[in-house]
Every structure is written in structure tokens, then in C-alpha cells.
Structure 1
Amino acid sequence: MSSPSHVAETPITDRNELVATLASGEKPKAQWRIGTEHEKFGFRLDDLRPPTFDGERGIEALLTGLTRFGWAAVQENGRTIALLRDNASVTLEPAGQLELSGAALESIHQTCVETGTHLNEVAQVAAELELGFLGMGFQPKWTREEMPWMPKGRYRIMRDYMPKVGSLGLDMMTRTCTVQVNLDYATEADMVKKFRVSLALQPIATALFADSPFTEGKPNGYLSYRSHIWTDTDADRTGMLDFVFEDGFGYERYVDYLLDVPMYFSYRDGVYHDASGQSFRDFMVGKLPVLPGQLPTLRDWSDHMTTAFPEVRLKKYLEMRGADGGPWARLCALPAFWVGLLYDDAALDAAWDLVRDFSLVERHALRDGVPKHALNLPFRGGTVRDLAAEALKIAVAGLKRRAARNADGQDESHFLDVLQEIVASGITPAERKLALYHGEWNQSVDPVFKQFAY
């Protein structure tokens, strides 16, 4: 989840300005970049509990420790709640999950180095505080009540609002972690094609990255419980966005969708004003109950765009949001998968051919079925595993044609090896952990904190 945006305080007076914000994201292909984000759970080495914000071994102490590597502290009410460096940031999810929002980089080689550097820095500071970090989609051991809360104003508002609109929203906030990639588009038509392909194939990414089979120390019956949680978080701001596949979809239709997403807040003068459930349309005409007579600014709009949580999200770029968090190799594989599919023209055409005749019913069946069944979900006489194999084939070819090479002459396609292994075996990361749980772990999740920590 985002921190307050740094967009100018320019007042909005016309809907067309909102449309122009999305259009301003258009870039020529030579300027397309890759922004990778990932979240991870912290835990204390002695008792495996999540660290609180305060204290000698708390999350704030970790953030302060990271400043030795050149990160600049960001404060809210006098407390360090984020870090900035080289167009990247380290932020906190509601229960202290640590997120790296990477810089916009030219290649997956670069983004993987960025991720590895960050994890190494975190490991150094965490070791001094006797903390560890784990990449999974859902907190495997602790209850919702046992998770701490970070002192960020927007989270207080969301914490109060979530139970009004769904039963699992607080779990989404406190007990999930994801990896996502943010990618560019050249034109409105390019955005539409990429949006449709990535939305239709998002369940495939969910299946490949499925790694959240435990809740409170026991199997929960899902392979990606994180993905399931989104189905009962807040229907007003989540889901598959069927309108994306309708004729005429473009920037204007997405703006209309966002205008109908209920607000959470308006951030003014360092204060989060609780606008939960109120209408941005009312805000546009000076009738927002919490700020009567005031008009929104471009920063309000930028903030509001971050409070919609569909499977694919449009801002000034497209965000792929379907994958569980995981280990370093899969953090690099997620951007490789989507760059291979979307950043090469032939691959994008092939991916569109793969999904263009999916019906609305089929798209929803994929979305609803993969959290439990992942690669084993039946689809058109085969399984999602077959779809994943075809999508990977397209992505590999796209990366080879892209030919972005490192100093050793390697292109980016080797970052997909970990996903190729998953498809070849038919066994997701979640299923591997379940086998360990029922085997050598003797029906305990505690070993996951050692065997799968960064």
C-alpha cells in the first residue's frame, strides 16, 4: 500500500484532467521501464512473533538501521515510517510487513540486483536486532489479533472501514504479502491490449506463485489463501473488472470506475481526513462531507487511485497484482514473466491470441478456482498447468527477442527457470510446503521460518 503521493497540490476542476493523468503515463517503447515491488514478513528469531513498531527490536529500529546505507528517513508525526533512496522506497504495510518499491529500471537484471541488494541490507540490520524475514503470501502462524499495527494515519481509517465491507479485509492488511511489477504503455490502445492480456492471465500468475497454504499453524485448504482473501475484502474496489473487455474501454472508462470507488481519506496538511465510504464525485463539486466546500487536488486523485485493488491496476502504468510473495528467485521471475509477455510485440500478440476468446464466465472461473487448486484447476479439457506452460513459452520467446543482456551476455529468459521448474513438476511452492508439513516438519509450521527465511 502506498504512502501519501508527492503529486502537486493542483486543484482539479474537470473530469478531463483525471483522464489526462492516465494519458500522461504514455511513453515510447525506448522509455519503457520495470518497477518491481515486494513485501515480506518480519519475525523475531527467538519466538517467531512479528516485531512491533516500537522497541529496540522494532520495525522503526530496523528502518533507522537501514539509513546507514544511504536511505533517507520519511516521518509521520515524528516517527520514521518509510525510507527513500535513488527513486526507490521502503515502506510499511499495516502489520509491519516490509515493502521495497523499486526504482523504474531498464532490465530485469537491474531489478534483480536491486532486490538482492535490498535483501542483503535488510539481513545485515535484522541480524543485529535478532530479526528474520520470510517471503510467503500469507502469515503462516499468527492470528489476526496477534499482528501489530503500524502508526500510519491511512491504516487507522482503513482498519475501521474494512469490517463494514467484507470479512477478510483486516487479514488482507495484516497477514498478506505480494510481489508485483509495474509496466509502461505507449498509447491508449497499447494500454488496453496489455490490460486485457494481463487481466486474463493474472490467475496464471496466481497459480504459478501460489505460496500461502497455512493459517494459524495449519493447512487452510488453499494454495494461495492470499488470493482468496481478496474475494471478501471489498467488492467495490477489487476483482476482475469485466468492463476492461468491453468495446470502447479506455482511460475514460477507467476514470469512471475510479470515481465510483468509495474514498478512504484525503491527506491535507499532514493529516488524514476520514472520508471512508464517501464519493470522489461529490468531492469534485465541493460536497465531500468531511471537507465541505473544498475541491480535490491532483494529489488527492493520485492517492485515490492507490485505494482501488483490482487484479490489475491502472495508474500511470499497469500494476500486476496477482502473485504471492516468495523467495528472491521468484521476486525476479515475476517481472520476467510479465515483461516477456507484454514488452515484445510478437509475444503480446501471441498472449492476446491465447486469451482473446476467454468468456467472462471462464475468466471468473479461473480467478475463483486458482486460489484453491492452482495449476490443477481444470480448464477447457486440460488444466491451468497447460495454460501456464503456454504462457511461459510465449514469455521466454519474448525475453529472448528483447535481448536485454547482462555483462556475461545472458538475456533475461533465465529468470523464468524457477517457473519452468514449477510447471514441469506440476508442484507449486505451496504444495512443497504442505508436503514438508505432513512429513519432516511433523505438522508444524515453525520450520518455515528457518528453512525459507531470506
Structure 2
Amino acid sequence: MGADSRALDRAGLLQDLRTHAFAVGRAPGPPRIGAEVELIPVSVDTGAQVPVVSIDGPSTLPLLRRFGARHGWTEQPSAYGVPQFGLPNGGVISYEPGGQIELSAAAFPSASALLHSLRGTVPPLMDAARGEGIELLSVGVEPRNGIEDVDLQLPGARYVRLTRFLESIGTGGTRMMRQTASMQVSVNLGAEPLLAWRVLNAMAPYATAIFANSPVYRGEPTGHRSWRAHIWRELDGGRTGCFACDNPVAEYLDFALAAPAILLGEEGDARPFAEWNARGCVGPDEWRAHLTTLFPEVRPKGFAEVRALDAVAPEWYAAPLVLLAGIVQHPPTLRAAAELLGAPDPALLHAAGRDGLSDPRMASVARDLADLATAGAAALPGFFDADALDEADAFFARYTRRSRSPADDVLDALAAAPAASLVQIEAAD
């Protein structure tokens, strides 16, 4: 059957991606930076993952309502069946499918302003939760329980459809949805957007290794520094990974067209978007919605959303901001990183999650990236204050320059006190 004349044409889709996703040909504007941080709520007493609402046990929605009322939050409906909260500074608190709490900060003109916003919300919320018997873990995967212990918490159509699709291709997807947490950093693509895209894709495995902190699942060491990254590698279905970047826009278009369109057709229909398009069944709105269901390590959204990191403890939030913005926002450093990294190697994602910085080659490149980023961040006038630079440098000194990641602290603590509570170890890390 030939393509329907109403189908979105390839040239138009390429131009849409080029302009709106990759920001090619657009004035770069001043640097801006944003972040999303996810927290996994678990019971201090039992270690069980805490639901959004519960009749006979702890739950997080009452906690957020009480905390939000004291801090000027505005409760809002969401399309996912549970409320979200607007913050006075433009941020949003919402839920992930397993009940993980996500703070989506507004974009700020400096990393220091972003850090001030994150720190003004997350540590106070963690303290309030602890007072109600809930520990909010900043780790890549919930360490104690299996997926059978965590029900889907968002009844909206998007996540029900995604659940059915992921269940049809294996169990990794439901674990990803309900038990993992990350810190996602959004940075401008700048004056050389395709070079920035290439460098960020090449950096993705190193970012995973540097910030790996999820070595435990179901109460046991997994053999992976980032079990969250392993879960993402298990997740098949043509919507994850990073890119070789030989022809970035066309490569991403092919990736998006080949991905099953989980928001279209009957529930469970896994036909690729390209097939729906060939039948003339979709338009620009469906195309844009489909793009939101893709989960590569770096997602182009008119800026770059870097998704390769495990959740990061609040005291170390400056480190990923320095690593990413210090390289991408400073053109000489961006070009130096491109020379250091060479072409992106998607195969490195497996080693990054498994071995972290215990791999000597990965550790060597990670140290060089940290040095480049630190120098680049210091060269951005007014973007990082001295405290942020010092904090990031302290992280790199404690971990990266010693070929370690936070996962190694967890493994050391387990080896020293194997009977200790995983919740206590993860919360103290």
C-alpha cells in the first residue's frame, strides 16, 4: 500500500526536528539551565516503597499537601489521575508511575540560582517526610523491594498504555517506571547545537559512571554500579539509548519513526509511528506527543535534556551541573571535549552501568572531563558562584579523581555492616 497523501512528509519532519528539537538556525540566547530531581519514598520502619495514597499506612500525598500549604504551593489537577503542585518560583512537584516524587525546577539564568531553588525545596521536604516516617531516597533504584511490591500509582491513560506496552516486551520496563529515579539536567545547545548534541551523547556513558549510585536491588548487590542503567539497557522497544551522531537530525528522525507509537490505536498496539503516518492517521499534534514518549539518554527539546544520571544526593547537586554546563555552555571547552571523546559509542552504556569508574579507560576519560568541566564552569561569568564550584570540585575529588562513584560508598558500607538497614545506608550516603 502506498503512503497516504495526508502523511507528514519526511522533509517537514526533518525541519521540525531541526528547528524545534535541535535548535539549529535559532539564536542561542544566554545560557539557561534546569533540572528534574526524583526521590523514592520508602517507609523508615519497613523499607517498603510508600504509595501516593494509602488507607492504612503512610502515604505521600497528605505529606505533600501539608508541606505545600506551609510553603505556598498550589495544588493542581494532572492528566495522570493524581494532583501535582505548582511552586511559587515556577517549579512543579509531580509523581512518577511508582509514586516517586519529582521536582521539575524552572529554568534559571545561572546554575547557582537553580541550586538555590533545588536546595530550598528538596532538603526541607526530606526533613518533613522523615518526621512522618518516610525516607525520600536519592538513589537510582529502590534498593529493597521487587517490582511485584510496587503497584502503578498513576491511573491516567498515558502510563496505563506505557505499562501494557512494556509488559509485552519484558519486566525491565515496569521496573524502570516504578522503581527508578534520576536527576535530569537541561542545558542550552548553544551556538553549535549539533556539536553540543554529539558531545553530550558521547558523554552520556561517562555521566552514568560518574554518578552511579544504585548497586543494590532486592536487598543484594547486583554486580552493577548503576542497576538503574542496567534496567534501561534491558528496556527494549526502540525508544532508549544514545546516538552515533553521524547525521544527527536524520538519525533522530529514523529513531522516532521506528519507535512504537504507544499513544495511538488500541491499547497494546505496538505499530511504529512510521506506519501510522504512512496511513495518514496522524498530524503534527500526534507527532509532538509521540516525541515525549521517547527516552534516549539525551533528549532534544530545543535544548538538551540529559537523562543518563542516577538520582544525585542534594549535597552534590552542583557536580552534574558543572560537568554538563561547564562543557556545553563554554564553546572552547565544548570543542576540547569533542576532541577528547571522539565519536559517541553507544556500546559504552553497558560498561558504564556495570563497571562504573572501575574500568580504567572510563576512569581516565572521566577525570579529564571533570577537569575540563571545572575549568569551563569557572570561565562562565556569573553562572556558577564559588560555593557551587567548590562543591563540584569536592565531589570530583572524593569520587571521580579516585576512580569511584557514590555506588562504591554503598558497597563499602554493606561490606562493613552487612546486617545494616539498606534504607539507613542509602539515606546516609
Q: Is the 8 A contact 1:38 1:100 kept in 2?
A: yes
Residue of structure 2 equivalent to 1:224: 226
Indicate which of 183, 187, 190 corresponds to 1:183: 187
Deviation of the 1:126 alpha carbon: 2.0
Deviation of the 1:125 alpha carbon: 4.4
Deviation of the 1:40 alpha carbon: 1.2
Identity of aligned residues (%): 24
Residue 195 of structure 2 corresponds to residue 155 of structure 1: no
TM-score in terms of structure 1 length = 0.83
Q: Is the 8 A contact 2:227 2:354 kept in 1?
A: yes
Deviation of the 1:211 alpha carbon: 0.5
Paired residues for 1:357-436 under 5 Å:
358=343, 363-378=345-360, 383-404=361-382, 410=386, 412-417=388-393, 418-436=395-413
Residue of structure 1 equivalent to 2:315: 329
**2:299, 2:269 → 1: CA distance?**
20
Do the aligned partners of residues 354 and 235 (structure 1) sit closer, same or farther apart at CA in structure 2, a change above 3 Å counting?
farther
Deviation of the 1:337 alpha carbon: 0.6
Residue of structure 1 equivalent to 2:112: 109
Paired residues for 1:24-43 under 5 Å:
24=20, 26=23, 28-43=27-42
Q: Is the 8 A contact 1:83 1:91 kept in 2?
A: yes
Indicate which of 279, 282, 288 corresponds to 1:302: 288
**2:355, 2:289 → 1: CA distance?**
35
* Aligned residue pair count: 414
Residue of structure 2 equivalent to 1:313: 299
**2:123, 2:422 → 1: CA distance?**
25
1:38-77 deviation per Cα after TM superposition (whole angstroms, max 9, x unaligned)? 1111012222211122236323223323431232223247
Moved more, 169-178 or 435-444: 435-444
Q: Is the 8 A contact 2:41 2:100 kept in 1?
A: yes
Equivalent position SS for 1:321:
strand
Residue 420 of structure 2 corresponds to residue 438 of structure 1: no
Equivalent position SS for 1:402:
coil
Residue of structure 1 equivalent to 2:271: 278
**2:248, 2:68 → 1: CA distance?**
42
TM-score in terms of structure 2 length = 0.88
**2:84, 2:266 → 1: CA distance?**
20
Moved more, 46-55 or 317-326: 46-55
Residue of structure 2 equivalent to 1:292: none
Q: What stretches of structure 2 of length at least 5 have no aligned partner?
A: 1-5
Deviation of the 1:163 alpha carbon: 2.5
**1:273, 1:113 → 2: CA distance?**
45
Equivalent position SS for 1:35:
strand
**1:82, 1:275 → 2: CA distance?**
28
Do the aligned partners of residues 449 and 329 (structure 1) sit closer, same or farther apart at CA in structure 2, a change above 3 Å counting?
closer
1:67-103 deviation per Cα after TM superposition (whole angstroms, max 9, x unaligned)? 3123222324795332223432212111111111111
**1:222, 1:124 → 2: CA distance?**
30
Q: Is the 8 A contact 2:17 2:249 kept in 1?
A: no
Deviation of the 1:193 alpha carbon: 0.7
Residue 108 of structure 2 corresponds to residue 130 of structure 1: no
**1:419, 1:66 → 2: CA distance?**
34
Paired residues for 1:28-67 under 5 Å:
28-55=27-54, 57-67=58-68
**2:80, 2:29 → 1: CA distance?**
41
Do the aligned partners of residues 446 and 396 (structure 1) sit closer, same or farther apart at CA in structure 2, a change above 3 Å counting?
closer
**1:125, 1:297 → 2: CA distance?**
44
Note the aligned Cα RMSD (angstroms): 2.7
Q: Is the 8 A contact 1:263 1:275 kept in 2?
A: no
Do the aligned partners of residues 372 and 21 (structure 1) sit closer, same or farther apart at CA in structure 2, a change above 3 Å counting?
closer
1:95-126 deviation per Cα after TM superposition (whole angstroms, max 9, x unaligned)? 11111111111111111111111214423542
**1:78, 1:98 → 2: CA distance?**
14
Moved more, 318-327 or 412-421: 412-421
Q: Is the 8 A contact 1:405 1:411 kept in 2?
A: no
Equivalent position SS for 1:319:
strand
Residue of structure 2 equivalent to 1:19: 15
Residue of structure 2 equivalent to 1:257: 255
**2:168, 2:146 → 1: CA distance?**
20
1:161-198 deviation per Cα after TM superposition (whole angstroms, max 9, x unaligned)? 113224411111111111111112245xx221111111
